[in-house]
Amino acid sequence: MVRNYLDKYCVLLNKDIYEEYTPYGLLVDFRFYLPKLKSEILTNCLEFEIDKKIEYLNLVSNEVSNLIIEDWKNISVVNKWLTMFETSFDNIINSNLNKEAINVYLDADYAQFEEEDDDIIKRRQIFDFQLDFFNVFKNYFIADIVNFCNSTKSDFTKKKDVKTTINKPFKDEYLIAFKKAITDERQIKETCFDLVYESIIHYVPYLENEVMENLLLLNTDKKDDYLNFAIDTLKKIEFSDCDENTISKWLEKYNSPISEFPHFKNEELKHWLNRYYNGYADDPKDYDFILDIQIDFYCYAAGLEAQKMITFLESKKSNAVNKTQLQEETTEKIKWIGKPSQLGFIIGKLAELGYIDAPQRINGETNFTQFAKQVKNTFDVETTESTLSKYLNLESEKGSETVRKFDENGFDIPHIKQIS
């Protein structure tokens, strides 16, 4: 069991830090350690059986609860300061305060106010202000971890009740953890893309080991069933089919090749992927931009890691299954001698006019990634699935250029309803 971040968190809660920190500095450190501690807690939980998980969560919860400062348990003790600066506690916790008046008090060194009578008064006021916020911040971040432990404990309790009636013949804890890591884009609001991606790949070797252990323990006739179950679990994830198209606009904007993912050389792109959404923007407009770019990269990363894991699982199937798949993949294809853009336009147009049933996403929109895969499996054409998906989308920049050329030459096919 690791407790690296729990120890660091408790130091912030327990240590007499008034001479070393300002309240704002303490808030910044709590924001930094909070997501890392939650990740550490979940990782530790994976090592235990359910009863031990609950005991561990109780241990963490009790350890931080013992550090509650009773006189400041109620946030209302800072209401007079919130009224004075016309702000709210949520705004302080969640926003960048560099340009707000209250930050003068949150980040001030009160010791410098000591020479004049007015300074002495202001020094006393700042001291009282900071004492209140030091202790309220500590209690707030104690409550956050306690609530997190209780919520996680509740989830495990429910699983325990289910396990009394369902006994799986294989382990799936890391499969569940990996699935959770690539299905929750809301993590971006708590930290930044770089750290979220690290948390995703953190589970990869553990899941691979879990798969290999299951294959060693399962009967031969059950191994492919287990692998198909795991593959189906990952394929049903919302972002599992996200590909380069998801981030293509950002790659073009910052002139960065996909081959550099996730360690891009462009300093501006690196800057935005490493920014915290929660309280680290220089301008209010930054928040929407940070969320926009980081969620796109999260979806791409989720799809990338899901596909890698699916490939790994497929590789572990029995030879009979792999041989069948190989035969299907080597079935003779139709040779396309035109340009890939022309193939994309014609097939895309046939789908638009009702002649082809193109695959769709949950929201009803065409899944051009899957569509390109089907077309590529049918036609022998020299292009990538990523490029072909752009040509199939007649409204994309690449697709619309081909549409224009065909229209100029009088290309026309009636809608299927007109001739049915």
Q: Give the confidence band of 9 by pLDDT, cuts at 50, 70, 90.
A: confident
**Continuous segment of H or E residues that includes residue 104:** helix 102-106
> How far apart, in whole angstroms, are the C-alpha atoms of residue 381 and residue 339?
8
Torsion of CA 178, 176, 320, 382, to 10 degrees: -40
Q: Report which secondary-structure segment, H or E, holds 315.
A: helix 284-315
Q: Is 379 helix (H, G, I), strand (E, B) or coil?
A: strand
Output the pLDDT for position 165: 45
- Are the beta carbons of 170 and 228 closer than 8 angstroms? no
Q: Which residues have C-beta within 8 Å of that of residue 183, sequence separation ≥ 6?
A: 237, 238, 239, 302
Q: What is the pLDDT of residue 238?
A: 82
Q: Give the per-residue pLDDT at 19.
A: 65
Q: Which residues make Cβ contacts (< 8 Å) with residue 45, sequence separation at least 6?
A: 53, 56, 57, 152, 156
Give residue 166's pLDDT band: very low, low, confident or very high (50, 70, 90): very low
pLDDT in tens, 107-159: 877 666 555 555 667 778 888 888 888 888 888 889 889 888 888 887 776 66
What are 280-326's pLDDT values in tens digits? 555 667 778 888 899 999 999 999 999 999 999 999 887 545 544 55
Q: Is the pTM of this model over 0.85?
A: no
Would you place residue 164 in the very low, low, confident or very high pLDDT band (cuts 50, 70, 90)? very low
> Which of 38-42, 185-189, 321-325 shows the lowest mean pLDDT across its residues?
321-325
d(CA 286, CA 280): 9
Question: How many CA atoms lie less than 13 Å away from 336 in the CB half-sphere?
Answer: 19
With H, G, I as helix, E, B as strand and everything else as coil, classify residue 410: coil
Angle value at C-alpha 50, between 32 and 234, nearest 5 degrees:
70
Other CB atoms within a 10 A radius of the CB of residue 63 amount to 17
Identify the pLDDT of residue 112.
Answer: 65
When pLDDT is averaged across residues 165-181 and rounded to a whole number, the result is 82
pLDDT value at 178 more than 90 = yes
Q: Are 343 and 388 in contact (CB under 8 A)?
A: yes
Q: Which residues, listed in sequence order, are joined to residue 360 by a DSSP beta bridge?
A: 366
- Whether residue 95 is predicted with pLDDT greater than 70 in this model: the reply is no
Nearest to 145 by CA among 222, 201, 68, 76: 68
pLDDT digits (tens, 9 = 90+) for 235-292: 888 888 888 888 999 999 999 999 899 999 999 999 889 887 765 555 667 778 888 8
Residue among 8, 66, 69 nearest 37 (CA): 8
Q: What's the pLDDT tens digit per position in 317-364?
A: 875 455 445 555 556 789 999 999 999 999 999 999 989 998 887 567
Q: Where are the alpha helices (DSSP H) in 169-219?
A: 173-181, 193-202, 204-217
Residue 54 pLDDT exceeds 60:
yes
pLDDT (mean) for 39-49: 84
Which pair of structure tokens corresponds to residue 266? 């462009």
Q: What whole-number distance in Å separates Cα of residue 357 and Cα of residue 242?
A: 20
Encode pLDDT of 357-398 as tens digits: 988 875 678 888 888 888 998 999 988 888 888 899 998 888
Quickly state the pLDDT bin for 104 (edges 50, 70, 90).
Answer: confident
Residue 262: is the preceding peptide bond cis (ω within 30°)?
yes
Residue 331 is predicted with a pLDDT of 62
Q: What is the mean pLDDT of residues 21-38?
A: 86
For 128, phi then psi, to 5°, come to -60, -45
Q: What gap in Å lies between CA 372 and CA 216, rounded to an integer?
A: 37
